Structure 1
């Protein structure tokens, strides 16, 4: 987490969410590129995840722009909206982790590809990292 924000928690949490939602979006592409013979239903699911992460990423960027325009005067309503967005992003990451674990168990091309399993485990660890950051911020409030 970037601690140079000092007491500007909204920008800290939005910075993390912006980075990690973009990472998760890219992870969907990595999986599809790595496992060329992935079952079509999983390809389509990953495309859906890519779109969902992109939408979340853009939502976070809109909030960053709003906070930046507020000149440090974040209203209580905006603050609560940021916390709700953080909670949404956290839950989205939890669901993606469950999906990745399902992929490792249910997809034949992944279950027989040691490299794909290592990459998926790495992707899971990265999403878990974001969840930890988000929880820390949410539980401090």
Structure 2
């Protein structure tokens, strides 16, 4: 993410969050589809993650609309809500990564599937990228 957006920064970080929450939700489907013999407990957990991440995606879209409608006059309260939202999404991504690592390390179906391991590592890397963006924004504000 580039940091020369000035007053557009709240909108830019929300745009990133929208993109990555959608990606994470799609990654739950990729994992389920790729590992056809995945244990039921992981399949069900991935479905719950998909639902949660889709809700996050929808929520961030609503915030984007609020920022757009503010016509670049973002109140301190709205700006703080954006930062709080980014902080929540960062923690959500951390938890999602932990879950992905658990699946990779504990699932019998994944242990024998090298392609699944590579894909899950890629999924983790992409979520880590969003975490890096979110941390940069939050640390700049403190």
TM-score calculated relative to the size of structure 1:
0.97
In 2, Cα distance between equivalents of 1:10 and 1:53: 20
In 2, Cα distance between equivalents of 1:38 and 1:75: 47
1:100-131 deviations in Å (ceiling 9; x for gaps): 11001110000110000000000000000000
Q: How many residue pairs align between the two structures?
A: 141
In 1, Cα distance between equivalents of 2:66 and 2:105: 42
- Displacement of 1:7: 2.9
1:6-54 deviations in Å (ceiling 9; x for gaps): 3321101101000000000000000000001100110000000000100
What corresponds to 1:96 in structure 2?
Answer: 96
What corresponds to 2:71 in structure 1?
Answer: 71
Q: Retained in 2: the 8 A contact 1:94–1:131?
A: yes
In 2, Cα distance between equivalents of 1:56 and 1:88: 10
Give the root-mean-square deviation of aligned CA atoms.
Answer: 1.0
What corresponds to 1:12 in structure 2?
Answer: 12
Q: State whether structure 2 residue 40 is matched by structure 1 residue 40.
A: yes
> What secondary structure is seen at the aligned counterpart in 2 of 1:131?
helix
What corresponds to 1:134 in structure 2?
Answer: 134
- Displacement of 1:3: 5.2
List alignment gaps of at least 5 residues for structure 1.
none
What corresponds to 2:21 in structure 1?
Answer: 21
In 1, Cα distance between equivalents of 2:90 and 2:6: 23
1:39-79 deviations in Å (ceiling 9; x for gaps): 01100000000001000001100000000000011111111
What corresponds to 1:82 in structure 2?
Answer: 82
